[in-house]
């Protein structure tokens, strides 16, 4: 049974590694670890049903092991960005401020025709209408239009021009996203100053976003939810 336990863990990690190498586009709606669990559980459950010679413990132990490991890892991932990045990858910004990042496109092994197809699926015919396009960890493409290409209702409401609708995630659940912060042209000292001006520390913040214009939105943690 120790053998079964070790084999379960090895195959689980191997499948996660394989899925990570296959890239985001293979994943679909689920996170990589969820997809791996789904694949493994169905096979594990069927084996002892089909073969009476295999004790039911050979299915129960791996299934409980996988579920427990998945729960422990998911919890751990909410606390560690590094682990989350290692197991699930990170979002890839394919279009930034209307400019296509060809290197990133190559890195995620997505052809321009595939990107155009994904945009068309979101009713966007012209790539120049896009302000930001982000390939998420689960393989979905998030698209943000240029402000002047937003639906008419926005224009009718008097919104003009150059301000992007995209909000950069600066702090999530008390954790500072240093990479994003730097990409917006700021550093941690600037962030500390901004928070101090509001009498806050990063630990007090559940969500902090910033638009290209510099407009900041802060959502505080509920009481008793310190990171």
Q: Which residues bind another protein (CB under 8 A)?
A: 1-7, 10, 52-55, 57-58, 61, 64-65, 67-72, 75
Between 53 and 158, name the residue whose CB sits nearer to another protein.
53
Between 81 and 148, name the residue whose CB sits nearer to another protein.
81
Assign 3-class secondary structure to the chain: CHHHHHHHHHHHHHHHHHHHHHCHHHCCCCCHHHHHHHHHHHHHHHHHHHCCCCCCHHHHHHHHHHHHHHHHHHHHHHHCHHHHHHHHCCCEEEEECCEECHHHHHHCCCCHHHHHHHHHHCCCCCHHHEEEEEECCCCCEEEEECHHHCCHHHHHCCCCCCCCCCEEEEEECCEECHHHHHHCCCCHHHHHHHHHHCCCCHHHEEEEEEECCCCEEEEECCCCCCC
Q: Give the nearest distance from C-beta 22 to another protein in angstroms.
A: 25
Q: What are phi and psi of 97, to 5 degrees?
A: 45, 45
Q: Give the nearest distance from C-beta 224 to another protein in angstroms.
A: 12
Between 18 and 54, name the residue whose CB sits nearer to another protein.
54
Between 103 and 226, name the residue whose CB sits nearer to another protein.
226
Paired strand residues for 135: 92, 141
Residue 21 has which token pair? 């190498």
Q: Give the nearest distance from C-beta 74 to another protein in angstroms.
A: 8
Give the integer Cα–Cα distance in Å for 95 and 102: 9
Between 53 and 151, name the residue whose CB sits nearer to another protein.
53
Q: Give the nearest distance from C-beta 116 to another protein in angstroms.
A: 42
Between 45 and 106, name the residue whose CB sits nearer to another protein.
45
């Amino acid at each position: 049974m120790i053998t079964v336990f070790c084999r379960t863990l090895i195959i689980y990690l191997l499948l996660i590694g394989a899925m990570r190498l296959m890239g985001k586009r293979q994943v679909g709606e689920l996170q990589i670890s969820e997809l791996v669990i789904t694949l493994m559980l169905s096979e594990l459950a069927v084996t002892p049903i089909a073969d009476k010679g295999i004790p039911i413990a050979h299915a129960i132990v791996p299934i409980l092991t996988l579920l427990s490991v998945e729960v422990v890892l998911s919890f751990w991932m909410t606390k560690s960005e590094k682990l989350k990045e290692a197991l699930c990858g990170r979002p890839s910004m394919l279009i930034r401020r209307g400019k296509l990042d060809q290197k990133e496109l190559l890195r995620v092994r997505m052809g321009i025709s595939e990107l155009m197809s994904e945009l068309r699926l979101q009713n966007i015919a012209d790539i120049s209408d896009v302000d930001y396009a982000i390939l998420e960890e689960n393989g979905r493409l998030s698209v943000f239009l240029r402000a002047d290409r937003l639906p008419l209702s926005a224009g009718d409401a008097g919104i003009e021009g150059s301000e992007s609708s995209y909000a950069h995630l600066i702090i999530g659940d008390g954790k500072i996203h240093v990479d994003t912060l730097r990409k917006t042209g700021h550093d941690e000292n600037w962030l500390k100053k901004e928070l101090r001006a509001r009498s806050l520390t990063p630990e007090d913040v559940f969500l902090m976003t910033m638009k290209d214009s510099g407009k900041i939105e802060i959502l505080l943690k509920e009481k008793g939810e310190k990171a």
